[in-house]
Structure 1
Amino acid sequence: MKRFKGISAILGSAFLAMTLVACSDSTSSEPVEEEPTESTHDITEEEVLELQQSWGEGIVHIGEVYSEGGDYEAAASEHIERFYGYDIGNVLFKPTLAKEERFRDTFEGALSYFIGGNEAFPEDHGFAIVPWTDVQWENEGVIIEGNKAVSMGVYYFTPANGGDPVEVEYNFAYTKNNDGDLKIVLHGSHYPYNPTQEITEEEVLELQQSWGEGIVHIGEVYSEGGDYEAAASEHIERFYGYDIGNVLFKPTLAKEERFRDTFEGALSYFIGGNEAYPEDHGFAITPWTDVRWENEGVIIEGNKAVSMGMYYFTPANGEEPVEVEYTFSYTRNDDGDLKIVLHSSHLPYSN
């Protein structure tokens, strides 16, 4: 741990010494010696380490409450109130898994990142409700100056599903409020640099989950009389690589135009209404209430990945889920976003 006295402390000591000399000359031959007192709001390294440990335990607690069907929103709100300085002023919060709204300078933005469900932050799926079973911190260093402190290092989040811990790099800054409570005022988290931008299985699973939620969302917008075409267009732009080049798209319910290598062809399949594709009735506006994935396997090689398995679409009319076989292929665009470049869906074979 590195600790700096700071220019203000040096100047303060010099000023005190000058004052004592002046008092000695003007009032008494015997100067009154006063010892400068250290601020009760000075941060110690022990406090920083305790906060980090408690913060990790808080993340685990939110996931536990969620898994047990409890009030996880209240748990997450208490976590933010306890550890972050939104009651003091601005907080610079850059969470790991955020791109559309990268910085969260409000309590609501932080809460959305931890638990999801806020329409203003549709990319959030609830980092804290994954859930995790452990958070381990490895500080590269902690620098303290009075009531300010910063730390940098790596923390590891162990998922409850038994997978390997997720490694994340971080920078945190801390200060104390008027009550002397240590608060986080800067939180920057990032995945480690990967020169090959290798795809992870976690990313594939997250994309699949988000893709299914997107299909459900299109149907909800349609049912509510909203702009479902815009919702479907956003879905395609987000998940498919038409901005990169060709996409090999073979949707389930298509025979006359089996392959959709254009954005317009994909859009027609999802919402129908395009005279060039009269067989399309709008797969995504059925509508569906849930999409569940069962991967037979995921194969990853660098920045390419493929997956194969079954997904099940639950219709809003209460009928049994529709079983569909699929093969997907993924790559990254120039911004590092994971995109689908092959989508092949088929109804199961029946003799």
Structure 2
Amino acid sequence: MRFPRIVMFLAIPALLFGAPWWLLVYTTLSGPWFWLGTAVFLLAFAALPTGMLLGHGPRQSDTASKIGDTLLGVMWVVFTWSVIGAVVRAGLILGGVDDPARSRIVAIGVVVVAAALVAYAVYEARRLPRVRTVEVPIEGLGAGLDGVRLVVVTDTHFAALDRLRWSERVVAEVNAQRPDIACHAGDLADGSVAARSAQVDPLGKVEATLGRFYITGNHEYFGDAPGWIEHMAGLGWKPMRNEHQVLTRGGDSLIIAGIDDPTGRGLTGHGPDIEAALAGADPAIPVVLLAHQPVQVADAVKAGVALQISGHTHGGQIWPFHYLVRLEQPVVAGLSRHGERTQLYTSRGTGFWGPQLRLFAPSEITVLILRSA
């Protein structure tokens, strides 16, 4: 790990722990309680990067991953509300409220609010995702395909926490939506096929009359992308690797296409190629493109794609992280229009990455009902 990366790797935990330590310990506690509080913060500060490194690095320790991920999510919430608490504290100073009452009021408020939100966020992350239904008009879609139901799951991120039962419930809910087309838009799992396949295998029971399609996300390339591609094919899903397929119903046709995630460029033979994906496609037939990251819509616009389906953003996952996501991606969630004819649907994701928290960014199973424009 190069020196600048080491500095960044430690600077983020220092920021996450520094602001809460100042507000909850330095300004509030004294004597032995001050030193006890400081020791707890220092221990947690050391545990966070250690857990992330051992959990997501070469060792892939599930125990370390759980510790690091949990600390990351909890401290993001505590950090956010410590910053808000500091603003409230400044207001109390202007209002003439003196210490120790001022610091204690703010500290208690931050702890209570953060604890309540963490509990709520854990519940939101672990629950069965809500079904979100959106009608999407598609220019050039024939009457035979009007009303076709395209069900999307994405960003399931099966990882250290065993979510086999959750996976089975998601599959049951997907089938309850009577999909004509089922799609998984990437970030299937974190870890090897050997370690995570049991959680993924229920996806083999998804039923879709016109086909099941899968693309890689960036996280497949942090692990074993070729292994996951092969495994999903073995479950009956069609991996769409810079290719397309023509679907027909009622005498009318629709093209479903898929491209690799940009992270795949680091692996020989991988990486997005929309020209290859649409090579030989009839330009008169509307195209639905699976592309993991919303930022890939720029290429979709150039190619005249009717609808791109993406995930990746998680809707920010833990408020207010969506403001940072927006710096990298053109859309955080929902249906949007780009260029003259291209629409983009960005899912908040079906699972969660890392911290088992979702705060003001609910997970979803998406039903896109395609309509003749």
TM-score tier, shorter chain, comes to under 0.3
Return the TM-score normalized by structure 1: 0.22
Q: Which has the higher contact order (CA 8 A, sep 6+)?
A: 2
The structure with the largest alpha-carbon Rg is 1
